[in-house]
Amino acid sequence: MNGRYRTLFDFGGKTVIVTGAASGLGREISRALADFGADVVIADKNAPGLRKVAAELEPAAASVLPCPTDVSVPEQVDALVSAALGVSGRIDALIHCAGIGGRSPAVSYPMELWDEVISVNAGGTFLCTQAVGRVMLEQENGGAIVNLSSIGGMVGKPGSVGYQVSKAMEIQIAKSLGVEWGPHGVRVNSIAPGLFMTETIRAETEKEPDVNADFMKMLPRGRAGELHEIVGAALFLASDAGSYVTGAVIPVDGGALAW
Amino acid sequence: MAGQYSTDLFRLDDRVALVTGAASGMGLRAAYGLADAGAQVVAADVNSGGLDEAVAAMRAEGYRVTGAVADISDQEQVAQMAKTAESVSGHVDVLVNCAGIGARGVARDYPLELWRKVIHINTRGSFLCARAVAPGMIARRKGSIINIASCAAAVGWPGSVGYQVSKAGLGQMSRSLGVEWAPYNVRVNSIAPGSVDTPQNQQEEAREPEYFAERLRRVPMGRRAQPEEVVGAILFLASDASSMVTGNLIATDGGYIAS
């Protein structure tokens, strides 16, 4: 059995969908999957951005298929799954990174913002998980679903109640479906990133410089995460390396939760 | 300092407590419990017939109670309910968000309409209620909001993903608002009951006895809670006995989460 662990994180011959792939953590995870030899199906609402990422990934990946998708629209999610099935007839993993922010004080939180952030973040996570789950439940060897939530779904911070509620919902999807689909070999897990310097966070920080200053002080590592630092957890949960892990939440937060 | 503490710590004299879902089950027991602790209770429910009966029964026993018919998923009705509660004596000190619905269904076929409905009522509705009473509480620097969540705010089980997601959202709402409103001495907490012997649960159980028997086997205390067994936690969180407790989740679940 020498060498059996050398292929633990392999994605050769595996079809993986990544949503929110045009920027930030989703793009970074797509880059990693390409490097690991996956057939990568990338989805995002931002079609031009998605084409750019596809062009970037092509030299490394086994194949790249860009699918412009609004994850909060059931028909578009179904179309994404059909397109992914066209690659190899199966879907081995879904890494769902698509999501939006939603900052506002609770007392005046606009209900339109509440509805939007819950529909896109929690609803979008469920739609993608359900649609891909239907495929995985029927195929041999099941599959792995990884949803990117946030430590904002586990602890409270002032100023974004709707966003935080949506992220807690995403975490619960992993727990609920991890248990429900466990017997059928479909694993569902969540990664809870802390503060990562994505374009979104950079823009937020420029608008409200104080927003993340307090938070930064609470980070044992004393800094925000670099995009590449999310990759390990995603590849672990999406590959055979995570074969006995389901319904779990892994914080990748520089120790913020432990503080 | 002998004699500093008595059961007065849990008294709610001169306080007004608004309870949603008060026509039956846990909400009705909460209304009795809060009234026994000395609070003036405003009992709200969408079921006007059941509410009339409950209010009449409480009044016949000498309790001070006001009824308010309200569908918590309707912002106008929630505003009206809060107005009724504030008209009792000019302030609302306690809100118990007990109104909610169940929503069983396997995840792969979970209807999107059911997903939206259960989140709309359980999570969004509770947020609307919290938001309707919060401005007064914030202005007076005093208030306690108690959300009746579920073990699903912490763990998962098969067969009701939408319900569980709605309750996980409610648990997170308590953390998020608890932190955001802490500077104003408005405390927000949630309670995670396990399987409770309510009329709503009895109906569900009659439909799927095996499912619920299996759930019960996983409860360390080996029995369902009686609705009144949630009252202690409610009085603790409603009163000054919990003056430093906020953003928290208290499980009254017979050890379910711990196991």
Closest CA to A195 of A147, A230, A237, A159: A230
Structure confidence at residue A259 (pLDDT): 75
**How many CB pairs lie under 8 A apart between chains A and B?**
132
Structure confidence at residue B1 (pLDDT): 65
User: In this structure, which amino acid lies at residue A221?
Assistant: R
Segment A144-183, tens digit of pLDDT: 999 999 999 999 999 999 999 999 999 999 999 999 999 9
Structure confidence at residue A109 (pLDDT): 98
The CATH T-level fold of domain A9-244 is Rossmann fold (3.40.50)
Residue B143 C-alpha, separation from nearest chain A C-alpha, in angstroms: 14
Instruction: Residue B169: list chain A partners with CB under 8 A.
Output: 118, 122, 165-166, 168-169, 172
Place of tokens 């409770």: B196
CA A49, CA A116: separation in Å to the nearest integer?
A: 22
Closest CA to A145 of A167, A107, A176, A115: A176
Architecture of domain B12-101+121-151+164-194+225-252: 3-Layer(aba) Sandwich (3.40)
Option in B138, B160, B171 nearest A168 (CB): B171
Q: Mean pLDDT over residues B238-257, rounded?
A: 94
Q: Mean pLDDT over residues B132-145, rounded?
A: 98
Structure confidence at residue A222 (pLDDT): 77
- Interchain pair A161, B176: CB under 8 A: yes
CA A88, CA A40: separation in Å to the nearest integer?
A: 11
Q: Which of B163, B184, B211, B256 is catalytic?
A: B163
- Interchain pair B165, A167: CB under 8 A: no
Structure confidence at residue B235 (pLDDT): 96
Higher-scoring residue by pLDDT: A219, B26: B26
What is the domain partition of chain A in residue ranges? 9-244
What is the domain partition of chain B in residue ranges? 12-101+121-151+164-194+225-252
Structure confidence at residue B58 (pLDDT): 97
Residue A134 C-alpha, separation from nearest chain B C-alpha, in angstroms: 6
Distance between terminal CA atoms of chain A?
41
Instruction: Residue B112: list chain A partners with CB under 8 A.
Output: 74, 127
- pTM for the model stands at 0.92
Q: Mean pLDDT over residues B201-226, rounded?
A: 88
Higher-scoring residue by pLDDT: A212, B21: B21
Segment A55-104, tens digit of pLDDT: 999 999 999 999 999 999 999 999 999 999 999 999 999 999 999 999 99
Q: What is the largest CA-CA distance in chain B?
A: 61
Contact A198, A225 (CB under 8 A): no
Option in A114, A127, A173 nearest B161 (CB): A173
Q: Mean pLDDT over residues B44-51, rounded?
A: 98
Is the ipTM above a cut-off of 0.90?
no
Q: Is B139 helix (H, G, I), strand (E, B) or coil?
A: helix
Instruction: Residue B116: list chain A partners with CB under 8 A.
Output: 123
Structure confidence at residue A52 (pLDDT): 98
Instruction: Residue A175: list chain B partners with CB under 8 A.
Output: 155-156, 164, 168
pLDDT surpassing 90 at residue A47: yes
Provide φ and ψ at B220, rounded to 5°: -50, -40
Structure confidence at residue A80 (pLDDT): 98
pLDDT tier at A1 (50, 70, 90 boundaries)?
A: low
The DSSP code sequence of chain A is -TTGGGGTT--TT-EEEEESTTSHHHHHHHHHHHHTT-EEEEEES-HHHHHHHHHHHTTTSSEEEEEE--TT-HHHHHHHHHHHHHHHS---EEEE-------B-GGG--HHHHHHHIIIIIIHHHHHHHHHHHHHHHSTT-EEEEEE--GGGTS--TTBHHHHHHHHHHHHHHHHHHHHHGGGTEEEEEEEE--B--HHHHHHHHH-TTTTHHHHHT-TTSSPBPGGGGHHHHHHHHSGGGTT--S-EEEESTTTTT-
pLDDT tier at B8 (50, 70, 90 boundaries)?
A: confident
Structure confidence at residue A215 (pLDDT): 72
Residue A163 falls in the annotated catalytic set: yes
pLDDT surpassing 70 at residue B129: yes
User: In this structure, which amino acid lies at residue B5?
Assistant: Y
pLDDT tier at B214 (50, 70, 90 boundaries)?
A: confident
For residue A147, count other CB atoms closer than 10 A to its CB.
31
Q: Does B180 touch chain A (CB under 8 A)?
A: yes
Segment A193-239, tens digit of pLDDT: 999 988 877 887 888 777 777 777 777 777 889 999 999 999 999 99
